[in-house]
Amino acid sequence: MPNTVKVLKLTTDEKSSLECLLRCPTTEARKYIRAKILLLKSDSYTNEAIADKLDITVPTVRLCLQKYFAGGIDNALNDCKGKGRKQEISDDDITWVVNKACQKPLDYGFSAEFWYPASFTRFIQSIAVKEGHPRLEHVSEFSLRKILANAKIRPFKVTYYCERRDPDFDSKMHDVLVIYKQVSLQFDKDGNLLPFEGTPVHTLSYDEKPGIQAIGSTTPDLPPISNTEKGSSYMRDYEYIRYGTISLLAAIDLLTEEAIPLVSDTHKSSDFVEFLTRLDAKYPEGDKIRLILDNHSAHTSQETQRYLNNHLGRFEFVFTPTHGSWLNLVEGFFSKLTKQMLQGIRVASKEELSERIYKYFDEINQIPIPYHWSYNLDGIDLATEDIDQIVYEVVNAKAASEELSCKRAPKPIKRSPKKSAKTEN
């Protein structure tokens, strides 16, 4: 008896799915052909007519239809598992290659610090037979790149990170966030500063920006030229003159949003003391001046200690943890300063550079920009925090005394958690 011709009837959803596949510009060619076969067959085309229309062979049409009747649309569109060329490089070979890539060339007596594709390929080829992987004796650089890409490792590149060397990093970060939370509560919903309750406390974010280069041009810059084909920009000679470097000591008042600068040739203890002197003269007598700053040696030096010893109760310091400069809001201000003013600057002397920096501060203070920390403050509850143990005066009469001036400054006091009141039964 003759074979019974099977009728292919697609549902509305199946037709819609196949038509969508045909319209998609990223559909694989083989899937496109198979989808067309199914759609044409559902329109009662014969196998021979489908083959002629799509310029393929009848066995190709027949195979696609057989797979459809055996397992549906997905089975007809996709290749069977295991089809194709068998794997020549075994999983054991791949594991061995990845292991070698995760070791430095220095470990094998080479001078280089890290592998490069060509050197790594030569190394694998030279030791493959000796270590029991003969298939890799003639492996190509492309194959090794593919193995490492599939393993998602890149031994040819270096990514830098910052090691946490401060064992109290989390607790110190929490202390800084508590201060930011306290500052945020001093503003109303409209961003207006609320009146102080008790002794006014002025909170400032402070840091230094050393090594600002005073660079001069050998010739004047050429202005852009309009109506050029590729567009035009300022033209500058490659040669330049170095006049030296200066340091910027700056703080931003987190309440008034004012930026306070001090430009100096250095950033030693004497410069920091001069900055503190300016702050002391700026704010009303009797107010607290609270600084958020890093652990630079100038901030706890003997000279700084002696100055603070003569101004008891005036200054309070909150230190960021080691490698935690990102917690200091003034870092964002320095980034803005670099992009808006220092990048590409040319001057005739260090004095001109200093004058222009001071002028920049005058300009931004005319329209101050608020700097508020908002990340990770929701979990801070000031009712459970002891602010007096977070902020402290960096001053100690014994450390600041003349007879012990050779001693190191005392370490900041360690903070203990505030005990919650318990109801006794």
* pLDDT tens profile 18-66: 989 889 888 889 899 999 999 998 888 899 999 999 999 999 999 999 9
Question: How many degrees, rounded to 5, is the angle at CA 293 between CA 292 and CA 298?
Answer: 140
Report d(CA 273, CA 279) in Å as an integer.
Answer: 10
Q: 131 exposed, middle or buried (CB, 10 Å; 0-12, 13-18, 19+)? A: exposed
Report d(CA 371, CA 210) in Å as an integer.
Answer: 22
Is the per-residue pLDDT at 175 higher than 80?
Answer: yes
Report d(CA 295, CA 322) in Å as an integer.
Answer: 7
Q: Give, to the nearest 10 degrees, the angle between helix 141-150 and helix 91-101.
A: 90
176-208 exposure pattern, b = at least 16 Cβ within 10 A, e = fewer: bbbbbbbbeebeeeeeeeeeeeeeebbbbbbbb
Task: Choose among 307, 245, 301, 243: nearest CA to 275.
Answer: 307
Contact 319, 412 (CB under 8 A): yes
- The residue extents of the domains of the chain are 12-77, 91-150, 169-209+246-404
Token pair 């002025």 in the structure block, residue: 202
pTM (2 decimals)? 0.62
Report d(CA 360, CA 203) in Å as an integer.
Answer: 22
**Higher local confidence (pLDDT), 86 or 270:** 270
Q: Which CATH number fits domain 169-209+246-404: 3.30.1490.20, 3.30.420.10, 3.30.9.100, 3.40.640.10?
A: 3.30.420.10
Instruction: Work out the percent of the chain whose per-residue pLDDT is above 70.
Output: 87
pLDDT band at 174 (very low <50, low <70, confident <90, very high): confident
Contact 243, 262 (CB under 8 A): no
Q: What is the pLDDT of residues 344-361, one digit of tens each?
A: 999 999 999 999 999 999
pLDDT band at 392 (very low <50, low <70, confident <90, very high): very low
Report d(CA 151, CA 168) in Å as an integer.
Answer: 36
Task: Please state, as a whole number, how many other Cβ atoms lie within 10 Å of the Cβ of residue 290.
Answer: 21
Sheet architecture: strand order including 288-293: 259-264, 240-253, 201-217, 288-293, 315-319
